[in-house]
Amino acid sequence: MLAALVTPTQAGLIYAADFTILLLRYVLFAGVAYLIFWRWKKARWQHRRIQPRFPDQKHIHTEIRYSLLTCLIFAAVGLGIFVARQYGYTRIYTSIAEYGWWYLLGSTVVAILAHDTYFYWTHRFMHLPGIYQRVHRVHHLSTNPSPWAAFAFHPVEAVIEAGIFPLLVFMLPLHPIAMVAFLSYMMGMNVLGHLGYELYPARFLRSKLGRLHNTSTHHNMHHQFVKGNYGLYFNWWDQLMGTNHAKYQDRFEKVANNQPASSKVA
């Protein structure tokens, strides 16, 4: 029988630290985006709103409550990974010299690509009849999401969403720097998808990068229409599977071409 490497007291402290870090990351990314675009520069960016109307505050409070529950679940997964590492079950390493800087960069890219694939197919799974109504519908309560919707999941969906991280650390050697970079990119793109504003220029989708990388409009349309636009970071799975919304490019270019009210008057 394996000796305990983590005492209950240590586990409690680690869990509390994990939850605090997750909460701070959520508040930093979602909160800053909300303050800038939904409060401070709200009027200035109104012409770039994907859905002109705003959800009521009661709904935003619901997004925050579900996101806090998600942070509690994600913290439990983080604790599980910590304990697994203590027993030598993960492939997390701490010396960059062990694999080198190029591997660190490459492993970050691999983690992002793996998550993009994982997200697309688990997302499609959660839209199956029966599963959608019981699980994924919570996230789709936000038909017009705010940045606070980034973590607004049913507890079962939160477990599914968190599942990519154990898979990565059990299968792929990852340095903490790569893990932080991956998690930061994930959070940034998650908040961008729920921002409610389109930030990219009108010609973005006609560029090589734009044909591959998703936009705020892409995920916002998924929330508005429920079906289609299932991808997270990149657009290739939606392209390959024919699941891009038929009006995605038209909608993107319409929003991105909008001019500020002052420009229209001038």
Per-residue model confidence as pLDDT tens for the chain (266 residues):
455 678 889 999 999 999 999 999 999 999 999 999 999 999 999 999 999 999 999 999 999 999 999 999 999 999 999 999 999 999 999 999 999 999 999 999 999 999 999 999 999 999 999 999 999 999 999 999 999 999 999 999 999 999 999 999 999 999 999 999 999 999 999 999 999 999 999 999 999 999 999 999 999 999 999 999 999 999 999 999 999 999 999 999 999 999 886 655 44
**pLDDT number for residue 5:** 79
- In the prediction, which pLDDT does 266 show? 41
**DSSP conformational letter for 207:** S
In the prediction, which pLDDT does 195 show? 98
Distance of alpha carbon 49 from the chain centroid = 20
Whole-number pLDDT of residue 265: 44
Domain locations in the chain? Answer: 11-198
Nearest CA among 81, 151, 163 for reference residue 122: 163
Of the chain, the end-to-end C-alpha distance in Å amounts to 77
**Residue in 170, 139, 156, 194 with CA at minimum distance from that of residue 73:** 156
- Contact of 65 with 158, CB cutoff 8 Å: no
DSSP β-bridge partners for residue 218: none
- How far is 164 from 254, CA to CA, in rounded Å? 35
Whether 49 and 216 have beta carbons less than 8 Å apart is answered as no
For the chain, the C-alpha Rg in angstroms (whole number) is 20
Element (H, E) at 235: none
| pLDDT at residue 262, as a whole number | 63
pLDDT of res. 3: 55
The token pair that represents 122 in the structure block: 């688990």
Number of H helices, E strands in the chain: 13, 0
CA nearest to 145, candidates 73, 212, 64: 64
The whole-model pTM stands at 0.93
What is the token pair recorded at 106? 């490459």
What is the distance between the alpha carbons of residues 199 and 197, in angstroms, rounded to a whole number? 6
CA–CA distance from 188 to each of 28, 215, 231 (Å)?
10, 12, 15
